[in-house]
Structure 1
Amino acid sequence: MLNRGLYISATSLIANQRKMDVIANNIANMNTTGFKKDIPITESFPEALLAKINDKPDSDLTATGQNQITYENHGEVHIAHTENGYFMIRTPMGVSYEKDIRFIVDDEGNLRTYYKNEKDEYKTDGENLILGRDGNPVNAQENIEGMLEGMVYYPNRNIIGTMSGGVKFHKIVSDFTQGDIVETGGKTDVALNGSGFFKVQGEDGEVLYTRDGSFAINNEGILTTSDGREVVGRQGQININGDSIEIRKNGEIVVDGAVVDSLDIVDLDNKEYLRKVGDNLYRMLDGVNGEEIPFQGEVMSGCLESSNVDSIKEMVNMISLLRNYESCQKAVRTQDEMLEKAANEIGRV
């Protein structure tokens, strides 16, 4: 059987390597127009029950009437802690046994863990379910505290606690906060002051989104991104044939004094489903439709939005991550030395 400490240290090394890749990519794009930094998210493996072998615990957790929970409610958020027993949480990797839980009630009445989007709204998609004592999801009741009391799971007498199997890399989240606006003077350079995206024509009619407004006019007089993809207007393809070009604050494109089209700029109510596809472009996750809402910001002509990467913070994060990586390496080395002694010295006895 693999030494558990060795396994936990190894999972941390793998997760730290992935986090380092994300930070390195952020630093590499610190001067990329409209780039949004990525944030690596890690999570622990489920807490598994730990049992004594051929021994008895000091107390009987299966006894009724001895458990007490503490409960707090802050708006939509519910927080609970149990002294005896455990709350069960269903995760993609199995059931986790926890002393502390924090959740909200979703639209279907289930108790779920949560996260907040860029609008500070609570979201539960892809989150974990809080389970009842029988291992099944429960619907919220008016008395949440009393319901939680009845949801506590009491394990067998030989259970003395829980232990995690380590940490894993969960996902990458893009930070869509506004970058600095830099004046360039370019006639086709455009920046968005506010939450929103330019729409770009992808392959096979796919709609892509970008914050990079460094546009150009190709040989056919069509407005494109810097890498040649067509920028989408309210009327479709944007044709610019003229000498004088002006892009107004509302996105209207004026050529030789006449309005020819408007930039199709939208905001998205479900940005959390956007995924980077390269070339500073985003697309919606497969099977998810973009919930487009009107753009409420301002179009700034002759300007570009800089990256929102803070180089100093990213370097500090990298140094901290390197130190953590070194600590995990030492832990692996220590575990290896213990196994060597167990094999070579204890074995001789």
Structure 2
Amino acid sequence: MLKGLYTSAQGLAVLNRQHEVTANNLANTNTVGYKKDRMVASSFPEMFLAKIRDRNAPGEVSPVGSIATGVAIDQVYTDHSSGILRHSDNPLALAISGEGYFVVSTPQGERYTRNGDFHVDAAGRVVTSSGYALQGQKGDLVAPNGDFVVDREGRVLSNGVEIDTLRIVRFATPLTKEGDALFSGDNPVEVENPLLQQGFVEESNVQVVEEMITMIQVMRSYEANQKVMQTLDGTLDKAVNEVGRV
């Protein structure tokens, strides 16, 4: 009976984490370049039960069967599938079609993003909404006249003159999400033939309907686990208070 309580409690903990992941995805539906998270739950290994055939022969057992011992969070991972490219009123906006990430400079070092909603700061640098400078092959990308054109291969032109080439990189190992649509990673590799579109941004890859369905399923499962715990609690209370009187 106590095992049932622990199993239900573990289920509630897993469902609570799933709720957090889903709620965060929904909250970032309109965040440019956001990549949704996914949670994978797995069951604990089943326990094989057996009973001793004879107390005088402890080495001999009879199989009873197996029993599950609950679920646990296996992993929370980021889905890096592309979002829809949407036309932007910002002429300096950029979107990557296919693989790759923009490189930006932060106080913590280089970070990588699919959020191409760039603008020009007072120093003439092309920056993110948080002020992180977009990186070209020559370092911080600077727009001399506050304006620039990026062709489909990532070459940056000002007044028809090529001034730099954007760094678009990919990774062979998983990235670490850091918030603000930024990722960190090791050993970036330059994408040989990037495909960019100026005047567009990449929307988040969150599917609202899918997340809402997940949220409803989580709530229903949470309610079911709560009822199981209440039933077991009532049964345990009855066993303690009534059986003890016999």
Q: Same fold (TM over 0.5)?
A: yes
TM-score, length basis structure 2: 0.92
> 1:246-298 CA deviation, whole Å, 9 max, x = no partner?
1111111111221111110012222xx212111110112xxxx3352525441
Maintained 8 Å contact 2:119/2:126: yes
Q: Quick one: which amino acid aligns to residue 31 of structure 2?
A: T
* Aligned residue number for residue 337 of structure 1: 234
User: Secondary structure, in 3 states, of the residue corresponding to 1:333?
Assistant: helix
Could you tell me how far apart the structure 1 residues matched to 2:41 and 2:214 are?
15
From the superposition, tell whether residues 226 and 17 of structure 1 become closer, same or farther in structure 2 (CA, over 3 Å). Answer: same
Q: How does 1:109-128 map to 2 (within 5 A)?
A: none
Q: Match for 2:195 among 272, 282, 298?
A: 298
Identify which of structures 1 and 2 has the higher relative contact order when contacts are C-alpha pairs closer than 8 Å and 6+ apart. 2
From the superposition, tell whether residues 329 and 296 of structure 1 become closer, same or farther in structure 2 (CA, over 3 Å). Answer: farther
From the superposition, tell whether residues 17 and 195 of structure 1 become closer, same or farther in structure 2 (CA, over 3 Å). Answer: same
Q: Match for 1:198 among 80, 98, 102?
A: 102
User: Secondary structure, in 3 states, of the residue corresponding to 1:187?
Assistant: coil
* Aligned residue number for residue 34 of structure 2: 35
From the superposition, tell whether residues 33 and 243 of structure 1 become closer, same or farther in structure 2 (CA, over 3 Å). Answer: closer
Q: How does 1:168-207 map to 2 (within 5 A)?
A: 168-204=72-108, 206-207=109-110
From the superposition, tell whether residues 32 and 53 of structure 1 become closer, same or farther in structure 2 (CA, over 3 Å). Answer: same
Maintained 8 Å contact 1:217/1:224: yes
* Aligned residue number for residue 181 of structure 2: 280
Could you tell me how far apart the structure 1 residues matched to 2:194 and 2:236 are?
61
* Aligned residue number for residue 15 of structure 2: 16
* Aligned residue number for residue 138 of structure 1: none
* Aligned residue number for residue 165 of structure 2: 262
From the superposition, tell whether residues 233 and 190 of structure 1 become closer, same or farther in structure 2 (CA, over 3 Å). Answer: same
Could you tell me how far apart the structure 1 residues matched to 2:217 and 2:197 are?
38
Q: Quick one: which amino acid aligns to residue 169 of structure 1?
A: I
Structure 1 stretches of 4+ moved >4 Å: 53-56
Which structure has more helix as a fraction of its residues? 2
* Aligned residue number for residue 141 of structure 2: 238
TM-score, length basis structure 1: 0.66
From the superposition, tell whether residues 187 and 156 of structure 1 become closer, same or farther in structure 2 (CA, over 3 Å). Answer: farther
Q: How does 1:1-80 map to 2 (within 5 A)?
A: 3-53=2-52
User: Secondary structure, in 3 states, of the residue corresponding to 1:259?
Assistant: strand
1:216 matched to 2:106? The reply is no
Could you tell me how far apart the structure 1 residues matched to 2:60 and 2:163 are?
74
Q: Quick one: which amino acid aligns to residue 319 of structure 1?
A: I
Could you tell me how far apart the structure 1 residues matched to 2:18 and 2:103 are?
30
Maintained 8 Å contact 1:194/1:296: no
Identity of aligned residues (%): 35
> 1:62-96 CA deviation, whole Å, 9 max, x = no partner?
xxxxxxxxxxxxxxxxxxxxxxxxxxxxxxxxxxx
Shift of residue 213, structure 1, vs aligned partner: 0.2
Shift of residue 223, structure 1, vs aligned partner: 1.2
Q: Gaps (5+ residues) in structure 1? A: 57-154
Shift of residue 242, structure 1, vs aligned partner: 1.4
RMSD between aligned residues: 2.0
| Count of residue pairs the alignment pairs up | 243
* Aligned residue number for residue 207 of structure 2: 310
Could you tell me how far apart the structure 1 residues matched to 2:52 and 2:238 are?
24
